């Protein structure tokens, strides 16, 4: 067996369905770690050979030895990082797919900016304080996850009025880029050295994506403010002539990651971008792991269909990489 008795384990949320399904497709046994009464999807879709139930994901460390005795390799995703936290992830003894050391470069907004700058990407301006707001700005809270509570302000006065209900929270003020949001899903193989373009999505956010359904006059009458709370993801293909630039940006991120952390980033990652009308990419965030926008492509995306002769989700691609690493005795190359 190509899996050599290893099992793929992850937390039951975010993108676990495709991670576990992909692992099975690649011949691995699978384990889903679920919160009590939230395990139905993992039973229903038959993706987990074993389900471990916890009162809360925060207790993940308590079952680490169980996972080790099962010969597990854990796969991180957004909920995993949130629940286990980067500090504890660094201490994990169970084999972990990806580079743990790169995570702090994602979590800390200032470090993330340094990384993206080193890659030579175009980033939205950051204002030192509300007095500097001279173009429309978006106010983002730290650890907001999913854009909850973010708001727009065009001036100090507007900022002061809107920040009232968020007193005490840490925030950054960023230039608001008007354009088309596009989230790019990449996979970088440390075995082949190749960057792969997996898919794209855009987010479906409440209420910003529904505000156009209300006439401008009514928006003003209702005193509506926009917010960016994520509710889902929409699949996307991009204008083909943009693809060379998209590959170039992904490669630049990988090269820069090797300058900030010896082994750099590997496995799946995503750039969150806005494309302006003159087709310039502004990058406002990087996710250094699988993103939920890839959930559309459990049976492959238009791009993976070009590269693979079989359905290839990002979840499956992770297990394919692990399988290839096992087969060539290079497992340590894909573990962090």
CA angle 142, 144, 148 (to 5 degrees): 135
- Between residues 18 and 174, which has the closer beta carbon with respect to ligand ATP? 174
Residue 201 binds ligand ATP, judged by CB under 6 A: no
Question: For ligand ATP, which residue of 205, 295, 301, 319 counts as binding (CB under 6 A)?
Answer: 205
As a whole number of angstroms, the distance between CA 112 and CA 92 comes to 23
As a whole number of angstroms, the distance between CA 35 and CA 42 comes to 11
How many positions of this chain bind ligand ATP (CB under 6 A)?
Answer: 19
Measured from each CB, the residue nearest to ligand ATP is 147
Closest approach of ligand ATP to the CB of residue 208, in Å: 6
Closest residue by Cα to residue 76 from 3, 11, 6, 24: 11
Beta strands in the chain (DSSP E): 7-11, 29-35, 50-54, 72-74, 126-127, 137-141, 151-153, 171-175, 180-188, 195-207, 228-236, 267-275, 281-287
- Between residues 230 and 331, which has the closer beta carbon with respect to ligand ATP? 230
Question: For ligand ATP, which residue of 80, 97, 115, 150 counts as binding (CB under 6 A)?
Answer: 150
Residue 284 binds ligand ATP, judged by CB under 6 A: yes
As a whole number of angstroms, the distance between CA 259 and CA 111 comes to 13
- 113 backbone dihedrals φ, ψ, rounded to 5°: -65, -40
- Binding part of the chain for ligand ATP, among 87-95, 174-182, 210-218, 299-307 by CB under 6 A, reads 174-182
- Between residues 45 and 204, which has the closer beta carbon with respect to ligand ATP? 204
- Binding part of the chain for ligand ATP, among 18-26, 143-151, 235-243, 248-256 by CB under 6 A, reads 143-151
Residue 232 binds ligand ATP, judged by CB under 6 A: no
SS3 31: strand
- Between residues 33 and 292, which has the closer beta carbon with respect to ligand ATP? 292
Q: Sort 168 into a burial class: Cβ within 10 Å, 0-12 / 13-18 / 19+.
A: exposed
Residue 283 binds ligand ATP, judged by CB under 6 A: no
Residue 203 binds ligand ATP, judged by CB under 6 A: yes
Which residues sit at the interface with ligand ATP, rule CB under 6 A? 124, 138, 140, 144-147, 150, 174, 176-177, 181, 203, 205, 228, 272, 274, 284-285
């Amino acid at each position: 067996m190509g899996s050599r008795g290893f099992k793929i384990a992850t937390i039951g949320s975010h993108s676990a369905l495709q991670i576990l399904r992909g692992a099975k497709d690649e011949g691995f046994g699978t384990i889903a770690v679920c919160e009590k009464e939230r395990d139905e999807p993992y039973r229903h879709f038959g993706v987990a050979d074993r389900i471990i139930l916890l009162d809360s994901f925060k207790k993940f460390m308590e079952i680490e030895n169980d996972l080790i005795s099962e010969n597990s390799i854990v796969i991180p995703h957004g909920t995993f990082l949130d629940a286990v936290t980067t500090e504890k992830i660094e201490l994990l003894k169970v084999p972990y797919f990806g580079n743990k050391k790169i995570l702090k470069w994602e979590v800390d907004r200032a470090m993330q900016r340094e990384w993206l700058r080193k890659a030579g990407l175009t980033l939205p301006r950051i204002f030192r304080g509300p007095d500097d707001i001279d173009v429309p700005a978006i106010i983002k809270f730290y650890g907001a996850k999913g854009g909850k509570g973010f708001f727009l302000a065009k001036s100090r006065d507007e900022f002061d009025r809107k920040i009232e209900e968020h007193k005490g929270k840490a925030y950054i003020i960023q230039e608001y880029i008007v354009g088309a949001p596009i989230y790019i899903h990449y996979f970088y193989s440390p075995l082949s050295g190749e960057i792969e373009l997996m898919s794209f999505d855009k987010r479906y956010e409440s209420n910003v994506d529904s505000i156009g359904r209300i006439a401008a006059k009514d928006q003003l009458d209702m005193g509506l403010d926009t917010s960016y709370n994520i509710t889902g993801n929409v699949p996307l293909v991009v204008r083909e002539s943009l693809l060379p630039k998209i590959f170039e940006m992904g490669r630049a991120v990988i090269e820069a990651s090797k300058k900030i952390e010896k082994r750099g980033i590997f496995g799946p990652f995503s750039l969150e971008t806005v494309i302006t009308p003159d087709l310039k990419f502004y990058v406002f965030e990087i996710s250094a792991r699988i993103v939920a926008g890839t959930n559309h492509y459990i049976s492959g995306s238009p791009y993976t269909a070009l590269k693979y002769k079989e359905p290839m989700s990002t979840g499956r691609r992770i297990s394919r990489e692990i399988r290839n690493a096992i087969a060539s005795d290079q497992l340590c190359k894909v573990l962090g």
